[in-house]
Structures are given as C-alpha cells and as structure tokens.
Amino acid sequence: MKIWKPLSKFRYSKERNEFKYHTDFSLKETEDVELKINGKKIIKEKPPKGKIYKIHFEMAIEIFKDENDDCR
C-alpha cells in the first residue's frame, strides 16, 4: 500500500458540529481494504489481477444531541 496523505482528522466547517477523516492511498492486486461497523462489513475492495486502485477516502461525522435532533 502506498499512502499519499496519511489519515487525518479535522473540523469540517464552522457552521456545523462536524469533523472529517481523510486519506489518499493505493492498493495493489495482493492488497485489500475493508470497513466494518460493529462487526458488520460495510465495504470491501480488492483490485483485480494486474490492476491498481487509487483511493480517496473521506468520512464526515456530524454530532447531534440525541436521535430526535434534526438529521436532515
């Protein structure tokens, strides 16, 4: 795996109670990436033979007071 931008965390905007994770990396055919939440697989990617995936990954998290707060 080659990483161009290491995983970083920063405030997304001043207007919203939100922050963001960001990274850029690549995978060769022998590598894979997997995202699990509470043990449930959400994403799994593995490049096909002879290919390279270049991945730009962002995840924004907005904080709410409770489940009844406006989630838009």
Q: What pLDDT does residue 32 have? A: 97
For residue 14, pLDDT over 90 is answered with: no
Q: What pLDDT does residue 15 have? A: 81
Q: Extract the tokens encoding 26.
A: 């690549």
Angle at 36 (CA atoms; ends 4, 67), nearest 5 degrees: 110
Q: What is the mean pLDDT of residues 19-43?
A: 96
Residues 69, 65: Cα–Cα separation, whole Å: 6
Domains of the chain: which residue ranges?
2-62
pTM: 0.75
Name the nearest CA neighbour of 19 among 7, 30, 28. 7
14: left (phi over 0), alpha (psi -120 to 50) or beta: alpha
pLDDT tens, 32-71? 999 999 999 999 999 999 999 999 999 999 888 776 666 5
Find where tokens 């707060």 sit: 69
